[in-house]
Structures are given as C-alpha cells and as structure tokens.
Amino acid sequence: MPPKSFFELMQWGPQGWLDEMTFATGLTLAVAISGFLFGLVFGTIAAMGKLSRRAIPRRLADVYTTVFRGVPDLLVIYLFYFGGSAMVTAIAQKFGAQGFIGLPGFLTGTLAIGIVSGAYQTEVIRGAYLAVPPGEIDAARAFGMSGWRLLRRIIGPQVLRYGLPGMGNIWQLVLKESALVAVVGLSVYFYEVKLGDLVLIYETRFSDLLRQAHVAAGSTRQPFVFYITAVVFYLLLTTASTWAFRRAETWATRGLRQV
C-alpha cells in the first residue's frame, strides 16, 4: 500500500478526510462558543463579586480568578474530565439522588473552558463597568431610572462598548483553548441505525478539529498533512473572528465621536 498523496488524503467523501476535518471545524466552533458563553456567565458573577461592597464575595471572586488564571488550562481539563462526573454525583447525592450521574463529554469540556475563560472575562467585565462614567448613572437615577431599565439603557450598552475589544481577545483565547479538549477526546455522537437482522448500531463520532487531525494522523500515519490542515483551518477561524469583532466594534461605537 503506497502512501497517499496530499490530495488523495484530503478528498471530500468516504475516501478522504476533508469532510471529517470540515465537520470537526464546526465542532471546534461549537465548543468555543459554548465555552465562551459559560465563561460569560462565570465572568459576570465573579465581576459582581469583585465589585461587591462585602468582603466575602470579593474574596471568593479573587480566589477564583487567581486560581484559574494561574493554573494550566490542561490541568483544569483533566480535573473536569476525570472528576466531573464524580463531583456531580457527589453533589446530587447530597440532595438525595441515588446512583451515578454521567456528564456528557461535550458539557464537561465546555464547562472546563468556560471556567477558565470566565476568570479572564471577569477582569474585562469589571474594567468595562468601571469605565462607565458615574455621572451618567447619577443622571439616569435623577431621571427616575432604576434597576433593570438603568442596566438596559445606560450601563449595558456602555459595558458592551468598553468591553468589546477585551472580549475579542478572550474569544481568540477560547478558540485556541478549545484545542485542548482534543487531549481528552470530547466528541458529539451521531448514531446510525442498521435495520434488518443485524442489531448493531454503529456510531459516527465528530471530534474537534485537533482531535480529528490526531485520529486521521494515527489512522493514515501521515501526521504532517493533517496537522498542517488543522493549522489552516484554525487560521481561517481566527481571521474570520478578527474581522467579525472589528465589525462589532464599529457597530457598538456608532454614534460615538471618533477621536
């Protein structure tokens, strides 16, 4: 069996790996988006903690950002991968549930990325909130705005505007960090039902981009081809996001005096 050429390996369809690599890019994007959104939740909570007047939330938020910015991301992924189900089971048993609870791989991986990216997002959200001029909030209060309306009309749009560049950087971070889930092999499963007398149900596994490159490299023993393809796909993702965030920034700062 002679080694296949680059173009033979990179065909679309059952003979080649291009279709698998493309779907894997989609999954990488899905992992990154969910990880980023989880991070937004954790980051917002931690930023509220840091801005709190009380000592305990501040202390807790500090511990959170210090630990998850100071510990390697891969270690966090291992923690979630090996400890995730055990942790959920332990918590559920405290509330009276019985037996084991398995966490789906996708959730474990994106939660791990969310926890880490949330630690970075905390600082961006906090910084953006502090950048809102206090006078504007006072003025809005004087107009009788409060609570939700104040948040939606005055604070929200400005936090978005000030925070967007920082968030763009974190998004790039998350996109690249999502590659780490390849180490533990997070996958989304699709099942294919075989009817007839054969009872077996085959499964098709979608892996993230790097994992897919890994699998293909192992299967074909042509690692260079697949890792270089992964590099190209990642560059497409990061370049497209740079462009998208630039557009978003233009939109968020519309109507603002350009200095």
Partner 1 sequence: MDFTFLYTSFLRLIVGIPLTLQLAFSSIGLGLVLAILLAAMMRSRLLPLAWIADGFVFVFRGTPLLVQVFLIYYGLGQFRPYLDEMGVWWFFRSPYYCALLALLLNTAAYGAEIVRGGLQSVPHGQIEAARAFGMSGFTLYRRIIAPIALRQALPAYGNEIILMIKATSLVSTITLMEVTGLAHKIISETFRAFEVFFVAGAIYLAINFTVTRLIALAEHWIAPDLDQASRPIEVGKLSH
Partner 2 sequence: MKFAKLALVASAVLVLGLAATDASAQMRKVKIATEGAYAPWNFVNSQGKLEGFELELGAELCKRAKFDCEFVAQDWDGIIPSLQAKKYDAIMAGMNITPRRLETINFTTAYAAGAHGFMVLKSSPLAKMPGGEYNLTKDLAAAEKAINELKPMLKGKILGVQGSTTNLAWAEKYFKDVAEIREYKTTEQHDLDLAAGRLDATVGAHSAAKATMETATGKDMMIAGPGFSGGMLGLGVAVGLRKEDADLKTAFDDAVKSAIDDGTIKKLSEKWFKVDMTPKS
Which residues contact partner 2 (rule: CB under 8 A)?
A: 1-3, 13-17, 19-20, 81-82, 85-86, 89, 99-102, 104-107, 183-185, 187-195, 198-206, 215-221, 223
Structure tokens belonging to residue 53: 């007047």
Of the candidates 41, 87, 97, 151, which one interacts with partner 1 according to CB under 8 A? 87
Output 169 or 219, the one with its CB closest to partner 1. Answer: 169
Output 65 or 110, the one with its CB closest to partner 2. Answer: 110
One character per residue 103-122, x = contact with partner 1 (rule: CB under 8 A): -----------------x--
Q: Which does 162 bind (CB under 5 to 8 A by kind): partner 1, partner 2, none?
A: none
Shortest distance, CB of residue 71 to partner 1, whole angstroms?
Answer: 4
Chain CA centroid to CA 252, Å:
22
Is the distance from CB of 197 to CB of 91 less than 8 angstroms? no
Q: Which residues bind partner 1 (CB under 8 A)?
A: 66-67, 70-76, 78-79, 81-83, 86-87, 120, 123-124, 127, 166, 169-170, 172-173, 176-180, 182-183, 210, 213-214, 217, 222-224, 227-228, 230-231, 234-235, 238-239
